[in-house]
Amino acid sequence: MSENETVAGPEVLPPAPPVAAGDDDLSRQLAERTEDLQRVTAEYANYRRRVDRDRTLVVDQAAERFAAQLFPIVDDIERARDHGDLNGAFKVVADRVLGLLDGLGVEAFGVAGDPFDPSLHEAVLHDTSDEVSVPTATTVLRQGFRRGDRVLRTAMVAVSEPAAGAAAAAPVAADGNASAEAAAPVQDATGNGAPGETPAAG
C-alpha cells in the first residue's frame, strides 16, 4: 500500500431529524376541528330540515283555512246547480271558485251509494232498506272535502242499513212450526189420544 492511499472507514449516515413534539398536538387539534365541523354540518342539516318542515306546515294550514272559508260558497253553488240556476255570470264566478279549490288540491267527495264510512261521513238520518247489504250513504245532504289524505269536512249523509226483519222471519217461522209440531198430541195406534191415556171402557 502506497503512502498516498488512505484506508476507507465505515460510512457515516447523517443523523435523522428529530421528531417535533408539536406534531402530536397538531394532529389532535386537526381531529378535534374535523369533529367540530362534522357536528356543525349535521346541526345545520337538521335545522334546514326543520325549517322546511315548518314552512310546509304553515303553507298547508293556510291553504286549509282558506279552503274552509270557501266551503259555504261551494254549498250554495251546488244548491243552485241542483235547481238549475247555475248559468250566466253566476256560472262563471262559480267555476272560478271551484278552480280555486282545485288549485289548492282540495277535492269533494260523497256520492249516493257510497258505503258508509264514519271517518268520511256524518250520519244525520237512519233507515232500513232491503236494497242494501251493508250500511250505505243513500242520500248526500252536504258534500265533504279533503286535501290529500286529510279530511277537511265530513260529508253529511242519510244512511240506510240492511233490513233485519226479512232475514230473521224465516228462522222464526221454522221455530214456530217445530214448536207447533211438538205441542200437538200424538195419537196411539188405536187413534184414541196421546200415549199414556187409558181408553174409556165401553
In percent, the amount of the chain with pLDDT more than 70 equals: 70
Q: For residue 196, give the C-alpha cell.
A: 199414556
Domain membership of residue 153 (yes or no) is yes
Q: What is the mean pLDDT of residues 31-46?
A: 92
pTM score above 0.85:
no
Number of domains in the chain: 2
Domain membership of residue 13 (yes or no) is no
Q: What is the mean pLDDT of the chain?
A: 80
Rg (CA), the chain: 46
Domain membership of residue 183 (yes or no) is no
What is d(CA 166, CA 70) in angstroms, rounded to the nearest whole number?
A: 45
Q: For residue 138, give the C-alpha cell.
A: 243513500
Domain membership of residue 85 (yes or no) is yes
Domain membership of residue 17 (yes or no) is no
Structure-model confidence comparison of residues 65 and 21, the more confident one: 65
Structure-model confidence comparison of residues 116 and 165, the more confident one: 116
Structure-model confidence comparison of residues 101 and 2, the more confident one: 101
State the pLDDT confidence band at 24, using cuts at 50, 70 and 90: confident
Domain membership of residue 155 (yes or no) is yes
| Cα–Cα separations (whole angstroms), residue 83 to 11, 65, 95, 187 | 115, 29, 17, 73
